[in-house]
Structure 1
Amino acid sequence: MIRLVRRMPVRRFLKVLAYVGTWVVLSLAIAGAIFLHSERTVEIASHEARLSPNFSGEVVARMGPVLPDLRMPSGSRVGVEVELGKTDAATLEELTSRYAAIASQPEGQIAVAQRAVEAMALAALVQGAVLGAVPLLVWALVGRARRQELYAGLPTRRGLAVAGLAVALTVAAVVPYGWGRTDQPAEDWTSLRDFLGPEVPLPDELDGVEVMADATTAQSRRLIESGISSYDESLKFYSEAADDAAMLDLRKPEEGETVVLLVSDRHDNVGMDKVARAIGEAGGATAVFDAGDDTSTGSRWEAFSLDSLAATFKDLDGRWAVAGNHDNGGFVRSHLEDLGWTYFDDEVIDGPGGSRILGVDDPRSSGLGDWRDQTGLSFTEVADLLGDAACAADEDGDRVNTLLVHDANIAKPALERGCVDLVLGGHIHVQTGPTPVTADDGRIGYTYTLGTTGGAAYAIAIGSKLRRPASIALVTYREGRPVGIQSITLQPNGRYDVDPWAPLTY
């Protein structure tokens, strides 16, 4: 490339440089215009939300007719306006509680907005690059001789008529774009601290937040105060729990061992995600299993829970998951697969530490059990087919070292036939095991059921604190087989209970 430039005549080089410079300027100008008029619809904060980028350097959340709009710095030159749309929250109190829980663990929602803005920016750049090249291509296709003829014809009556028509067409295409538009009225913003007054303590993390001061009712003020209180309580509880996790006396992996974090039944409690991650780091975990029930209904509004999970564990070496009975329909699996999580298609695949793993979504998650191409199967029928698949793999020399399920009962046939080393599940919100199971041929396997990582008493665990003990486990692998499990429980009062590491022997 350098040699080519050196051999190129100066005049020609300057001409090429002028073309490239013109193309870059046109492309960036067009891309900027396209970017500023782009929008995306995504799921944010349990709403269907419309995102519009700008260069204000601020994030503005349009909260709807009751709650006041919010504004805060974006941390860069690029800003975004988020218009919150429909949600399935039954009451404003429920919605405010969701906001508080999500705000205490915002990484997932920030990642969603960033991906949307980056996608719009990339699309605008591609379109700008193509459209910016059009005038230059037309210029080149017309040719020098024809351009000189056109220049010579401009002073004539025909030339003036053609030029006038071109200008008129351009004006007709561009000017109506702004017809009917009015300038946005001036907005009266005030800091959240001034809005609430000195009697309401405000966490330091909210110092940069501003509130639209007009059209605010006493009810909306009370809702904001309640939300701030819940946010502060949630942030303190889960942040302290995450900090305390670093001090836990957990077994550290020895040379040649791989540790996997196990979570299950989060039920939308995003606050526990950073706690689980902190426990995993303290125990040397490099991968994660998710035994399902990340949501309460599997609805799109619960995307915030999945986004938080994905953002928290995005840099781990492996992420395997199954859908639980509350992850109803296909949204949960599809969304997490798009975010890099591995689900199972009825085949044994590579697992952590050189092991082999098989998994199955809970047949109740879709309302209809299914296995391979068979639909409408009962829980028991899927359990039998799962056992057949595990045993067939074992006979072929591809033993299943880990069988990941939501409800451990579905893996009973495989375990009782001696075809798997370890069954991992959740579902019942109570920790049990690891329990050895001896098959008729004398082979030993284990079953382990995790409690609820979300501390859920019901199908949804959004709140400022745990409703019941929250469970996390660390599974150790050596030479391709699970060799031990350590259970950790966070009590609602913030106390940790750490079980001794339980070895698995075969």
Structure 2
Amino acid sequence: MTGRTPPRWLRWTLVVATAVAACVAFGVTTATATLSLGPHEAVYEVDTDGLVVADLGPLGTIEIDSPLPLGLGVDVTVKEIPADLTAVEGASTLDRLVGDLDQYLQFYNTPEVTIEAVARALAGDAVRRTLVALAVVALAGWGVRVLLGAARRRELAEWAAPRTWRLAAGTAVVALVATTVVSGDVDPPRAGRPATEVFAGTALEGARITGRLAGVVDDYGGQLTALYDENEAFYAEARGELSTAWDSWDIRHAVRTNLGQEAADGEDVVSMLIVSDLHCNTGMSGLIEESAVRSGADVVLNAGDTTMNGTAVEKTCVDSFAAAVPEGVPMVVADGNHDSVLTSQQEAAHGQIILDGGVVEVAGVRILGDRDALETRIGEGTSVARERTPAEQAAELAETACAENGVDLLLIHTPPVGTPALETGCVPFQVSGHTHRRAGPEQVGQGIRYVSSSTAGAASGQPTVGPLRGTAEMTVLRFDLDTREMLDTQLVEVTPDGRAVVHDRVPVPGVVPPVGELKAGVPGTGPSAPASDAPATVSPGPTAP
């Protein structure tokens, strides 16, 4: 027996490897995450039945063959739709159910975003559980070692050494069986159940529906599939139209540059793509990416209202828009009244720069901004959600702008909040959203204000999920780092019929000083503007479009 005993280093290697394997198996097979599935909150748990099973309670289940290796599956417990995503009063139960199914269109439009988020969350939880298990095993081993004492440890080592291989194999089998029992609390798959045909060609192809939901899907699934197909086709065609529109503009720009009618793009010019009021229309993600790439955007400016209600389940929307930004391009965000602190946290997790009352420098541009002081919730109205009112916020931004020498841009969601800062002359240019109507660039006080329309094509009283109901707009804004001036704006439009237009660049107007300063001989920053023009004013937009 002595000749068969492995050396000491090998015995300890086997002990450590067995412990690590058992802990990894435990961590992987017991990983959980709480995220969203369509409009619902959902709990995702790894199991060992080889299926992805979405438990919809009394409605039944949705089962899909798991893409995970080693027989691993995922058990999805779909919980309630959050209370702030309420149904319309007076609607029948069936109407509400059909409405809920319609909400899944957003999930079907970009399922890879949800899948990626779930995979990251489960992997992170598996790592945490593995590390905790390793710590417990190490502490337990150390405690047993201390309690046994040196003499007893020598006796046990002499007994265990020749049985090393059998003990290691037995320990591994017991650990794997134990973790399988812990994680495999879901009923095994039922053989022979046919896939639901209505999902053929969609992200859920091969899914098997059980319970009452199967009848609902049979009756109304065709409508949902038709909506999905319509949505996919619309935005694919719209992106193709947008690409063609950029091609056309590139040709026009090249000709004008060669003829000396336009200056060539300089190295010291920063391009910024403005998006605003996205309201969870993830269908626009591909078009945002197209414009960011084709415009050579160095920065993406998000003027707020990325979500509808700022809820946890709208993380899918935040993830989709974050994925649309080219790698290495920063996104600067001034969250709006339809967003929340949770939305800001979700955006920050993607590395986005969240404005919170201070000045940040991005790509050489000094940007001041803040998230909206108000919060609007569907069915609840608008209320002050911060420690200060919009008027107090406006005054603080003006004070900060004057205290911080050399602010280049003010980015906020609601346009009038920036008026005091513009009137002081401490902010030369402001970008906002909120009103769903484009305005400017035009002079307000001693600065220029530009109000972006909705990049989601948001129309009054219409949902933003699905094909566009109104014209979606983005704007390319260029800034000269040498002169510290905004050069021009370039409007990008996508219409409800899927057509796209990339407009020519329009120079930003110069600021006209007050009449008194003109009489005193003080030169303005915009000599091309007529001296008799009075500073323009813009009336506040509606509270919560």
Tell me the TM-score normalised to structure 1 length.
0.79
1:184-240 CA-to-partner distances (Å, cap 9, x unmatched) read 4636542333xx3xxxxx664447432225555533322322111111111111122
Which residue pairs with 1:244 in the alignment? 241
Mean alpha-carbon deviation: is it higher for 340-349 or for 74-83?
74-83
Q: 1:124 aligns with which of 126, 129, 141?
A: 129
Letter in 2 for 1:103: Y
- Structure 2 residue 20 is matched with structure 1 residue 20: no
* 1:223-262 deviation per Cα after TM superposition (whole angstroms, max 9, x unaligned): 3221111111111111222233333335685433332221
**Candidates 231, 235, 242, aligned match of 2:232:** 235
Pairing partner for 2:118 from 90, 113, 118: 113
Of 369, 379, 398 in structure 2, the residue corresponding to residue 387 of structure 1 is 398
Q: Is the 8 A contact 1:320 1:341 kept in 2?
A: yes
- Write out aligned runs for 1:193-204 (5 A): 193=197, 196=198, 204=201
Return the letter of the residue paired with 1:422. F
Cα 1:36–1:240 change in 2 (3 A) is same
1:70/1:453 CA distance change after superposition, 3 Å: farther
Alignment-mate amino acid for residue 368 of structure 1: V
Change (3 A) 1:333 1:412: same
1:145 is aligned to 2:151: yes
Aligned to 2:215: 218
- The one-letter code of the counterpart of 1:41 is T
Query: Does 106-115 or 209-218 show the bigger shift?
Result: 209-218
- Picking from 73, 79, 85, the partner of 1:85 is 79
> Which of 249, 257, 266 is the equivalent residue of 2:269?
257
Kept in 1, the 8 Å contact 2:272–2:297? The answer is: yes
The 5 A counterparts of 1:247-396 are 247-249=244-246, 250=249, 254-313=266-325, 315-327=327-339, 329-351=340-362, 353-365=363-375, 367-368=383-384, 370=386, 375-377=387-389, 379-393=390-404
Q: Which residue of 2 aligns with 1:461?
A: 463
The 3-state SS of whatever aligns with 2:394 is: helix
CA offset at residue 106 of structure 1?
2.5
TM-superposed CA distance for 1:426, in Å, is: 0.8
In the TM superposition, what is the alpha-carbon distance from 1:354 to its structure 2 partner?
0.4
Q: Provide the rounded CA distance (Å) in 1 between the counterparts of 2:443 and 2:421.
A: 13
Q: Distance in 1 between matches of 2:458 and 2:60?
A: 28
- What percent of counterpart residues are identical? 25
Deviation at 1:369, TM superposition (A): 6.4
Matched, 1:61 2:54: yes
1:50 to 21, 43, 47: 43
Contact kept, 8 Å, 1:287 with 1:316, in 2: the verdict is no
CA distance in 1, matches of 2:13, 2:128: 21
Cα shift readout 1:253-310 (whole Å, capped 9, x = no counterpart): 5433332221111112111112111111111113211111122222333332222223
Give the whole-Å Cα distance in 2 for the aligned partners of 1:114 and 1:312: 19
Distance in 2 (alpha carbons) for counterparts of 1:499 and 1:106: 33
Q: Matched residue of 1:400: which SS? A: coil
Contact kept? 1:323, 1:365, Cα under 8 Å = no
Give how far 1:128 is off.
Answer: 3.5
Which deviates more from structure 2 when the two are superposed, residues 134-143 or residues 254-263?
134-143
After superposition, give the CA deviation of every residue in 1:457-500 in whole Å (9 maximum; x if it has no partner): 14773432111111111222331543222111100000012221
Question: What SS does the aligned partner of 2:123 have?
Answer: helix
8 Å CA contact retained: 1:273, 1:309:
yes
The Cα of 1:13 is off from its aligned counterpart by 11
The equivalent residue for 2:108 is: 103
Report if the CA contact (8 A) 2:357-2:370 is conserved: yes
Residues 302, 334 of structure 2: 8 Å contact kept: yes
Paired with 2:155 and 2:288, the residues of 1 have a C-alpha distance of: 74
TM normalised by structure 2 equals: 0.74
Structure 2 gap ranges (5+): 88-95, 161-173, 254-264, 377-382, 511-524, 526-545
What residue identity is the alignment partner of 2:496? P
Tell whether the 8 Å contact from 1:267 to 1:461 is kept in structure 2 after alignment: no
* 1:263/1:453 contact within 8 Å kept: yes
Q: Tell me the equivalent position of 1:484.
A: 488
Partner residue in 2 for 1:7: none
Match of 2:34 among 41, 53, 56: 41
One-letter identity of the residue aligned with 1:293: D
One-letter identity of the residue aligned with 1:277: E
Change (3 A) 1:436 1:298: same
SS at match of 1:191: coil
| Structure 2 CA distance for aligned equivalents of residues 346 and 34 of structure 1 | 42
Instruction: Give the number of equivalent residue pairs.
Output: 455
Given the alignment, which residue of 413, 417, 432 partners 2:420? 413
Cα-Cα RMSD = 3.5
Q: 1:29 aligns with which of 3, 10, 22?
A: 22
Q: In 2, Cα distance between the equivalents of 1:470 and 1:430?
A: 10
Assess if the C-alpha contact under 8 Å between 1:73 and 1:208 holds in 2: no
**1:462 & 1:190 partners in 2: Cα distance?**
35
Task: Write the distance in 1 (CA, Å) between the matches of 2:141 and 2:273.
Answer: 57
426, 432, 439: which one pairs with 2:439?
Answer: 432
In the alignment, the residues of structure 2 paired with residue 498 and residue 474 of structure 1 have an alpha-carbon distance, to the nearest angstrom, of 10
Counterpart in the other structure of 1:3? none
- In structure 1, distance between residues paired with 2:216 and 2:241: 37
Residue 454 (structure 2) aligns with: 452
Residue identity in the other structure for 1:101? Q
- Which residue does the alignment assign to 1:157? none
Q: CA deviation at 1:117?
A: 0.9
- Gap runs ≥5 in structure 1: 1-10, 155-169, 197-201, 440-444
Shift of 1:134: 5.0
Distance 2:187 2:384 in 1: 53
Between the aligned partners of 1:117 and 1:130, the Cα distance in structure 2 is 20
Distance 1:148 1:356 in 2: 69
Contact 1:283–1:474 under 8 Å retained in 2: yes
